Amino acid sequence: MDYLQGLNPEQQRAVQQIKGPVMIIAGAGSGKTRVITYRVAHLIRNRVDPFNILVLTFTNKAAREMRDRINHLVGTEAKNIWMGTFHSVFAKLLRVEADKIGYPNNFTIYDTDDSKSVLRAILKEMNLDDKLYNANFVHNRISAAKNNLVSWQEYQQNDQIQADDLSTGRGHLGKIYETYVNRCFRAGAMDFDDLLFKTNELLKNFPDVLNKYQHKFKYLMVDEYQDTNFSQYLIVKKLAAVNENICVVGDDAQSIYAFRGANIQNILNFEKDYPDLKIFKLEQNYRSTQNIVNVANSIIANNKEQLKKNVFSEKESGDKIKVMRAFSDNEEGKLVAEAIMQERSTKGLKWNDFAILYRTNAQSRSMEEALRKLGTPYKIYGGLSFYQRKEIKDLIAYFRLTFNPNDEEALKRVINYPRRGIGDTTVDRIIVSADQHQITPWEVILNPSKYLDGRTSASVGIFSTMIQSFQVITKTLTAYEAALHIAQHSGLLKDLYEDKSVEGLNRYENIQELLNGIKEFSEREDIEEKGLDVFMQDVALLTNDDKDKDPDADTVSLMTIHSSKGLEFPQVYVVGLEENLFPSQMSLNSRSDLEEERRLFYVATTRAENKLTLSYATSRFKFGTLISCEPSRFLDEIDAQYLELDFTAKPVSASNPFFDDERNNWSKRGDTFLKPKTAAVKTTSILAKAHVPSADFKPSDTSELQVGMEVEHERFGYGKVISLEGKKPDIKATIFFKEIGQKQLLLKFAKLMIRKNF
């Protein structure tokens, strides 16, 4: 038991509780990964067969890290654990059982681009308006249906769903869904959502399969359980039903993926599914200073729906959390860039010690411009994945077609690349002929003289022979040897090599990098099967979430807060803390949406190890119009004792209570406003208390607003309209509010209730 000595008492208890249902509530920075790996190691040390352990994660990176740690603790037995992402584990299971649901075991896995390409083709065939039936919208609609286990048949038979579609003028969605499913089936392909949808179908319709895996997976562990959706929840519940040796690990305070279908109720209500549940709370934060942890706690305390815990840190108090105010988004970028430059210089830090986090990708522009002007190296994360680059997708399409010639998307991508005299017209003929004869396009290509005219038939025949030759050589060569052969003999490598432009050189180097990666895979000692088909199965399951921050790249990291989850940095800047931006305007319609935004802010603050800086702008361009901005309500929720206000510029308007020095009794020292030291003043917030809207408050139609009218604003209180200027829809109203003075508002964004006409 010596290996448990490095754990704190609560961690030890969680690790040693190996029987029955267990929930480990793991606060930010509390050593969650360490507990999971030690718990798996403890199972093996207690003679649990690794083949009977299933560990589910949300990223391949997390799975690799855990496996490496377990391997260090118990040796090579770690190889026998079923461990990976939900999608990778159940893709593996489906390849074994695929024949039961009518799929080949070498089925292709479509990524989002592939799925949207299929949908665009269907929309074209159905002569539907691609603006009304936008491929992104249709894809999201089908994805949501699958994640809620709604088949195309149920979709078409559900009166509420049909009524919703008809009300938006999209009555053909059910038929599109049906056609899409059939098209994927014909191609021997599953999309990402199918990997869970089909697993549920398999476990529901084949009791013998369910029984097999219930007895195989005697011990289940699920990481980041707060991020599970309905489909994942059901799979886990079914598999654990016999033994109930299930352990879920997560933090409800970090549930931020509702837009992907994640359901926070899965973790909040876990005890209802397992009444004899043992709960362990990991509350010590080993990552952040006391001040950062205290700020995070004061934020999340405002959420009503949560599992209560008392996260604490035994590290030093650390710097107070600095709040910076800027005139505009451009000035905000300038302030952040200069602060990073100064911190690096005075504290001897590296560029990669800093991260800038924002709510939306569009906010990166002002940050990038400011960093470039100072010559600061930076990298944006969450951009185009390496495996999404055109040249990479082209070569991988050749690989896919080699193993699954029915893969229609791969076929269309490479049949005439490099050019070989098979144009779009010929491709259309192939597909039409396949539809007419109820066969696959590949069957047409195998017999071109039977279905196509002479000249076209010859070109298609050469292509067919080439793909068949690839199918033969991949059976005897390693992944690298087969990949290199296909890259060379397809003509793709030659085509890229002959393009001497800068872009062409980059594309050629990217192909070489892919081949290098395949060579590394071929030389790995921890896997037995090293064929190109095995490599392809791994690649198909890679996601943007698996792209790690390169520890050797000395650059400032820029990313959305969603992309930052699971990462940590010595210094973090969270920018754009303004109402309608963070929290997002889209989140203000319900408490659940607002609480998710607050959890997102909690995640942002807990990425910081030593120093956290928050910033906002008093004006920002929105849809080409400069608008005034209010500080985020989240700033108001932070206990003032942990904050330091760094207002290097004077307020744009003294009408905002956040800037009213006299009201809040700030004392000015140089360029920094510090809190007053007088004992008589006790503030729990850095913001003056906002106006509480009347019980009947409801924003009015302001199109007929006139000078002299009395109004109520949800935050500024009661006021009178002094003047109106501009033309619709950009009319600005100058209003004198009783509590805070004069303020100018853009009516199309303002929320005003007209109280008296004159």
pTM for this prediction:
0.75
pLDDT at 672: 33
pLDDT at 741: 73
What separation in angstroms does the CA of 615 have from each of 327, 370, 456, 578, 592? 11, 15, 63, 9, 25
- Name the residue with tokens 């070489």: 512
Q: Are 451 and 427 in contact (CB under 8 A)?
A: no
Please report, to the nearest 10 degrees, the dihedral formed by the alpha carbons of residues 97, 100, 106, 107 taken in order.
-110
Distance CA 594, CA 605 (A): 17
Which amino acids are annotated catalytic? 32-33, 223-224, 254, 607
Q: Which amino acid is at 371?
A: L
- Name the residue with tokens 């603790």: 73
pLDDT at 541: 75
Strands 82-85 and 354-358, sheet pairing: unpaired
Burial call 429-441: b when 16+ CB within 10 Å, e when fewer: bbbebbeeeeebb
Task: Report the DSSP beta bridge partners of residue 401.
Answer: none
* Alpha-carbon dihedral sign for residues 718, 721, 725, 728: positive
Q: Is 478 strand, coil or helix?
A: coil
Nearest to 285 by CA among 727, 602, 663: 602
Cis, bond preceding 699 (omega within 30 deg of 0): no
pLDDT at 731: 86
Give the tokens for residue 682.
């006790």
Q: At what angle do helices 390-403 and 532-540 cross, to 10 degrees?
A: 130
DSSP sequence for 172-229: THHHHHHHHHHHHHHTTEEEHHHHHHHHHHHHHH-HHHHHHHHHH--EEEESSGGG--
Q: Are 190 and 110 in contact (CB under 8 A)?
A: yes
What separation in angstroms does the CA of 466 have from each of 235, 398, 514, 560? 42, 11, 22, 44
Q: Is 684 left (phi over 0), alpha (psi -120 to 50) or beta?
A: alpha
Q: Are 579 and 591 in contact (CB under 8 A)?
A: no
Neighbours of 167 (CB within 10 A): 9
- Return the DSSP state at 731: -
pLDDT at 690: 53
Rounded to the nearest angstrom, the gap between the alpha carbon of residue 224 and the centroid of all alpha carbons in its chain is 13
pLDDT at 71: 86
Q: Are 625 and 744 in contact (CB under 8 A)?
A: no
Task: Report the DSSP beta bridge partners of residue 673.
Answer: 645, 668
Distance CA 531, CA 92 (A): 16
Mean pLDDT by 10 residues, the chain (758 residues): 82 93 93 92 92 92 87 85 92 94 92 92 92 91 94 94 92 96 94 95 96 96 94 95 94 89 91 93 94 94 90 92 90 94 93 94 86 90 74 94 94 93 89 89 91 83 94 91 94 88 81 85 76 83 54 85 92 95 87 93 96 93 74 91 74 38 32 32 40 83 87 86 83 81 79 78
Locate the DSSP E strands across 203-353: 219-222, 246-250, 278-282, 321-326
Task: Report the DSSP beta bridge partners of residue 250.
Answer: 25
* Alpha-carbon dihedral sign for residues 145, 148, 153, 157: negative
Locate the DSSP E strands across 563-656: 569-574, 608-617, 619-622, 625-628, 643-646
Q: What angle do CA 634, 635, 640 make, to 5 degrees?
A: 130
Give the tokens for residue 19.
């029987």
pLDDT at 180: 97
Q: What Rg value do the Cα atoms of the chain yield, rounded? A: 29
pLDDT at 648: 59
Nearest to 453 by CA among 423, 436, 471, 429: 429
pLDDT at 566: 86
Nearest to 318 by CA among 356, 347, 283, 338: 347
Query: CB-hemisphere CA count at 13 Å for 599?
Result: 26
Neighbours of 574 (CB within 10 A): 26
pLDDT at 713: 87
Which residues does 558 contact at the CB level (< 8 Å), separation at least 6? 355, 356, 358, 364, 367, 368, 378, 379, 380, 381
pLDDT at 35: 93
Which residues does 661 contact at the CB level (< 8 Å), separation at least 6? 668, 673
pLDDT at 715: 77
Q: Are 573 and 357 in contact (CB under 8 A)?
A: yes
Distance CA 68, CA 45 (A): 16
